[in-house]
Structure 1
């Protein structure tokens, strides 16, 4: 028996030693002006894909597409608010299983580069920050503030628990980790904060990553003219959007002890898109030419984005400019990327693949088959429920003297109905300077106007008669994700409601409509009032599954649920007129659909699924066309 035990111990020891040897067989480091993989110089050819923007059932197909385009690495942001969807509730399952995404990438044969933020930008809601950080007393985000750093440490610790054993130092595919993100641009926009404090903050984030077990090389990513604010001592700097190789070498040498390697962490083959603006196209010729320049000059690069995906649900963020206080991002994050939103190879993909095959020495596999696409000619909507008369009446309102923000109501996303009863008539100019972001205005249940932060429209004339009710249905169109305004991200009505110079106070009723789940209409009667927000419902049967695109071009504004999945926002304003519906979310047999239509100017009876997306059709108001 003793011999048997000793033999088992020896066998277990041998197995453990073998496993460790297997896991530790590769190395990656930045040394002698090069990226070294197993001690030999390599050029990183990466493509950015965000695991959160595609169902996990499709991760492998998309990663195989990246590999087949000639890449040897994939880069992804990690979204804090995606992993912690509610305060203290951490979710790393299904579409949120970042560890599984990394493992699949390794199986496909790709190195992995992780960009954990905590701030990520990415046209994502609040740049990846959880909305409730704004509620924490004494907290200021993205600066050296102890409550904020404590929250960041909790996030980094949770993430490290998922990823630290998947680093190349532990036998996994992760070769690099980014410390913070594009911090130089934030430093440039927040000059009210001393540079010393900015530097203390970015170093603190890097130190938290180290403390929690990240031990692969770190890097920063900034525009080449922003390295002064964004660089971190001892961390490898990369440049975003830098097409001038001579300038790239010059600035990296200045901040990296006079040597390389040289990398463009964001090389843009496409660009982001906003509601109410033309869909941006980037020429194939220019992208291929720049790719060849990098390949010839041994410049490592990361296509941002190689595959964009979709901002499902309420995940899309927003930008802003001088003319537009907010520029909400589309639901589609197609990005005019080489791989389309539905995972198809585009002409841009084929052209880049051809140039990669000309220059790289490693094998580039064949392009995987596209996921099938189906048309759904007609989905009948046999039920409609008036939001005011049938839904709101079942919600207990919160009552306050003045309107409360979403955050004050402890709600992150969706909609809030603000209701005020008037015992005396009032008319004149309604001012909603604190509107965040889009509102439909009703008097006694009749729609009288629309206010829209995106269009810089915060006022209208209004006439409220004796003993009347004012309803203001407000939508959060996505928190700002980039620039100095990220610290001003409350939603709802954030300042007094003014009518003809008078602040309207007293007994405001607020009905929370987060739409975090598909509405349950089973106990609601069929109803319809023209102009009133409504929820439409229907079902349909399928014998064959595949991806499809719901045609929303005849609808106004709202969101769609299919089998409980929130596909995201639609808006007739455009340029996006379809919603991508992944086939993996469909069932053979019965499927359900709910559409929350805010404007509801026309009664809808059906909806269809088509085989190609519509992403470039604008329907601007007449005054915006001049």
Structure 2
């Protein structure tokens, strides 16, 4: 039986890759080769999944009953610096789309310059903020020029993979939830034109929350709906904005949610969504689960929410999302419930493949670090300025900047960082004196300055640019105004750029009780398996294994572990590095065979 299912799957994949298909909008359904077709789709982002694991995750999608995969395309990963494009490795979107075809899956491509997605700056590259007067999501000429170059670059990679060119991309989305931001139809029409000029000449669509569809859709394109699953309401809303016709597509259906640092972990029982999914599928409505598989937001690519004053909320590294497929790509009870429901709504003669077994997970040997170097002992050459410079002015996208100046001490003083973004550790003559956290609206501290010359160091971390709302245009990082001491601006700064874009190495071996440290070590494996680094006893920082940045950890939680895919481990010697900001005395690193994503702790 298994051999027969495998043969059927191979034949379907071969059929998709060789046959010419048509995909059109019918009055009430999508039409694939002229016949009604219901997309049962799940969202997963190739840039949140190790390339080595793409095929495994796609097989799991088929096993749950999905026939389509939706994915964002994040601009800041493909053009990290202006004019420097990267479609290699984990950024190879064309390879991901082709692999989906090999697994018998269609694709919905979402290459809008703006993605939201709990992703840094909503997907925009940081360097846009260095262009005076540029305004994202607008008709501002400089933005449109940059947008045009980017979407043409994506078009060169993927336009030929649309179904009308023999590929497996069914739909391509322009903009993203624009109605939650604006209502300029001229701007939306310009989006359509840019996409068409870039080679996206198949079916285009917009998607918006139900309350914003009227503002965010472009007449002539299919208006998809986010966050609603009442069939009759969906049909009425789409018909009202699409000449009285369908088809009907829920572009984002949320059976789960994401987490932010210092806030409780989100879980949503499948029972709340089982009848809703049944109802939607029975009504013949197409649906995309956001997320089917979240994966991990590694490195510095998490975004943040902000609505003013005290509401800055950066997201955690895990994008497990309580999704049907967990962070490591294993089926959850929610997966099994949804599979059961989907199986009742499959076309005649279609049988789901077996669900692959969960991948093994194990604890690694405990790592004892052999080298430890204070970050301040291996600084690069500084950039000098009178007033402090932002990350953007320093042409640094992510990571940290150390701001240093000297002054005369002998008194207590109030230090204020005007517009801190986002997290600062303050040192007086190398000793930690205060920590300021934008999440808590902290910008001031009282310092005891000893007599004589005093070195004042302020280490600032970019915790993630805002990814949603009007504050997209206020996303500079670092110290974005002045540093005041007793109300007077401090001047003459040295700025040390610490992007940590590569795995750091401890260049010496010096203990530290105060300053942030880089720790280097290794461990040996006889066999590999998924694992979860236990960071609950550490303070705050990042971890790299074999050159891969696994993401941020922070004692406050709720995330306490960092997922390490087996694909990034190897038999024999493995190297590990930790950047620890608050507890430099830690010297051992342990791991677990399961994640801990729901534990809040005091800092």
TM-score interval (norm. to shorter): over 0.9
**Counterpart of 1:301?**
287
**Counterpart of 1:4?**
none
Change (3 A) 1:96 1:22: closer
Q: 2:422 matched to 1:437?
A: yes
- My pick for the range that moved more, 355-364 or 37-46, is 355-364
Between the aligned partners of 2:53 and 2:325, the Cα distance in structure 1 is 13
**Counterpart of 1:608?**
590
Q: Superposed, which structure 2 residues align to 1:369-384 within 5 Å? A: 369-384=357-372
Between the aligned partners of 2:372 and 2:55, the Cα distance in structure 1 is 39
**Counterpart of 1:398?**
383
Pick aligned residue for 2:192 from 206, 218, 234: 206
Between the aligned partners of 1:108 and 1:342, the Cα distance in structure 2 is 19
Between the aligned partners of 1:546 and 1:22, the Cα distance in structure 2 is 33
**Counterpart of 2:127?**
132
SS in 1 for 2:435: strand
Between the aligned partners of 2:91 and 2:214, the Cα distance in structure 1 is 35
Deviations 1:129-149 (A, max 9, x none): 110011113311111111111
- My pick for the range that moved more, 242-251 or 232-241, is 242-251
**Counterpart of 1:159?**
154
**Counterpart of 2:57?**
62
Between the aligned partners of 2:190 and 2:15, the Cα distance in structure 1 is 32
Residues 163 and 169 of structure 2 are in contact (CA less than 8 Å); yes or no, is this contact kept in structure 1? yes
SS in 2 for 1:576: coil
For structure 1, which runs of at least 5 residues remain unmatched after alignment?
1-18, 188-194, 622-626
Deviation at 1:575, TM superposition (A): 0.2
Q: 2:348 matched to 1:354?
A: no
Pick aligned residue for 2:392 from 388, 391, 407: 407
Residues 264 and 299 of structure 1 are in contact (CA less than 8 Å); yes or no, is this contact kept in structure 2? yes
**Counterpart of 2:456?**
470
**Counterpart of 2:251?**
265
Q: 2:559 matched to 1:576?
A: yes
Pick aligned residue for 1:546 from 529, 532, 535: 529
Deviations 1:332-384 (A, max 9, x none): 00000000000010000011111111222232111123333221131121111
Deviations 1:509-547 (A, max 9, x none): 1111000001133xx321112121001110111110111
Q: Superposed, which structure 2 residues align to 1:149-188 within 5 Å? A: 149-187=144-182
Q: 2:593 matched to 1:617?
A: no
Deviations 1:393-415 (A, max 9, x none): xx211111110000001100000
**Counterpart of 2:373?**
385
Residues 24 and 169 of structure 1 are in contact (CA less than 8 Å); yes or no, is this contact kept in structure 2? no
- My pick for the range that moved more, 280-289 or 82-91, is 82-91
Deviation at 1:100, TM superposition (A): 0.7
SS in 2 for 1:250: helix
Change (3 A) 1:291 1:22: closer
Deviation at 1:33, TM superposition (A): 2.5
SS in 1 for 2:537: coil
Between the aligned partners of 2:15 and 2:542, the Cα distance in structure 1 is 50
Residues 16 and 168 of structure 2 are in contact (CA less than 8 Å); yes or no, is this contact kept in structure 1? no
Q: How many residues align?
A: 587
**Counterpart of 1:9?**
none
Residues 392 and 477 of structure 2 are in contact (CA less than 8 Å); yes or no, is this contact kept in structure 1? yes
Q: 2:592 matched to 1:592?
A: no
Deviation at 1:123, TM superposition (A): 0.4
**Counterpart of 1:624?**
none
Deviations 1:524-574 (A, max 9, x none): 321112121001110111110111111101100000111111111000010
Between the aligned partners of 1:158 and 1:96, the Cα distance in structure 2 is 13
Deviations 1:147-200 (A, max 9, x none): 11111111111101110111111111100000100000011xxxxxxx4xx222
- My pick for the range that moved more, 328-337 or 259-268, is 259-268
Q: Superposed, which structure 2 residues align to 1:131-530 within 5 Å? A: 131-187=126-182, 195=183, 198-322=184-308, 324-361=310-347, 362-388=350-376, 390-392=377-379, 395-425=380-410, 427-465=412-450, 466-505=452-491, 507-521=492-506, 524-530=507-513
- How does the TM-score come out when normalised to structure 2? 0.95
Residues 427 and 500 of structure 1 are in contact (CA less than 8 Å); yes or no, is this contact kept in structure 2? no
Change (3 A) 1:337 1:22: closer
Deviation at 1:298, TM superposition (A): 1.4
Between the aligned partners of 1:510 and 1:175, the Cα distance in structure 2 is 49
Residues 55 and 95 of structure 1 are in contact (CA less than 8 Å); yes or no, is this contact kept in structure 2? yes
Between the aligned partners of 2:215 and 2:243, the Cα distance in structure 1 is 17
SS in 2 for 1:509: strand
